[in-house]
């Protein structure tokens, strides 16, 4: 596989069609099913930046050096024995992280995900288990909802008691649209409160690990069971 990759840094946007293309081009293992997941592994001389969005394909990322991993609206993904500089996961279900080194992490509206024996910085681990990023994001959501309601209110007052103007109509549409969007986010989070919570059995490390030193110090396993 490495012979087909002649770059030291590669950006991948992994969607259903691009994953199928990679499978043909690189000869990846697996069929993308639950019994035979598609496996991308052992690209140690390559630094990857991956944006992933998939629900229909079972995928395993294994023994990779990833500067940034973004997983959005996905499920049935396993990330194992990887170095990850920055991890961002949004609206995901049933994602498993196993024995990775992760320097920074942000999760938003993710449920039923598992972090097992991963290494985090102490501060990042605390933010992860307390869901700090999501909590702070919803403070902003509430603020935007308040702004939307005020815009709507003052626009209606202007239209009813003052005069009809283009500015008032624009503010009214903006306020209503913003309010609807924020109410949708709040409703989505409320629905997720009934979903299984994320599971954490991880370790924290006191300092950031160098991107290249991680695999040099980590012993290679002869076989990994996904």
11-24 residues labelled b (16+ CB within 10 A) or e (exposed): eeebeeeebeeebe
Round the average pLDDT of the chain to a whole number and report it. 81
pLDDT digit string (tens) for 3-43? Answer: 444 444 556 566 666 666 666 666 677 788 888 888 888 77
Q: What's the confidence (pLDDT) of residue 42?
A: 78
pLDDT digit string (tens) for 51-98? Answer: 888 888 898 999 988 989 999 999 999 999 999 999 999 999 999 999
Helix, strand, coil abundance in the chain, percent, nearest 5: 40, 30, 30
Q: What's the confidence (pLDDT) of residue 61?
A: 92
Which strand (E) or helix (H) includes residue 176?
helix 166-192
Q: What's the confidence (pLDDT) of residue 34?
A: 87
CA-based torsion, 183, 187, 193, 199: positive or negative:
negative
Which strand (E) or helix (H) includes residue 213?
helix 213-217
- Is a pLDDT exceeding 90 seen at residue 115? yes
Mean pLDDT of 137-160: 92
> Could you tell me how many helices (H) and strands (E) the chain has, helices first?
5, 11
- Is a pLDDT exceeding 70 seen at residue 206? no
Mean pLDDT of 41-49: 76
Q: What's the confidence (pLDDT) of residue 222?
A: 40
């Amino acid at each position: 596989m490495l012979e087909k990759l002649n770059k030291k840094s590669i950006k991948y946007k992994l969607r259903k069609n691009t994953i199928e293309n990679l499978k043909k081009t690189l000869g990846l293992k697996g069929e993308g099913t639950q019994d035979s997941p598609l496996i991308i592994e052992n690209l140690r001389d390559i630094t990857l930046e991956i944006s992933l969005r998939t629900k229909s394909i079972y995928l395993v990322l294994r023994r990779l050096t990833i500067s940034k991993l973004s997983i959005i609206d996905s499920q049935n993904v396993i990330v194992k024995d990887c170095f990850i500089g920055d991890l961002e996961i949004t609206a995901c279900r049933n994602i498993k992280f196993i024995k990775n080194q992760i320097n920074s992490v942000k999760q938003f509206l993710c449920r039923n995900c598992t972090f097992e024996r991963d290494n985090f910085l102490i501060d990042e681990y605390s933010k992860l288990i307390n869901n700090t990023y999501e909590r702070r994001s919803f403070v902003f959501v509430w603020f935007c909802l308040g702004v939307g309601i005020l815009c709507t209110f003052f626009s209606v007052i202007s239209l009813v008691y003052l005069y009809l103007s283009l500015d008032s109509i624009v503010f009214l549409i903006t306020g209503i649209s913003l309010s609807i969007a924020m109410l949708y986010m709040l409703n989505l989070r409320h629905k997720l409160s009934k979903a299984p919570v994320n599971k954490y059995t991880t370790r924290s490390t006191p300092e950031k690990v160098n991107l290249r030193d991680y695999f040099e110090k980590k012993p290679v396993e002869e076989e990994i069971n996904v």
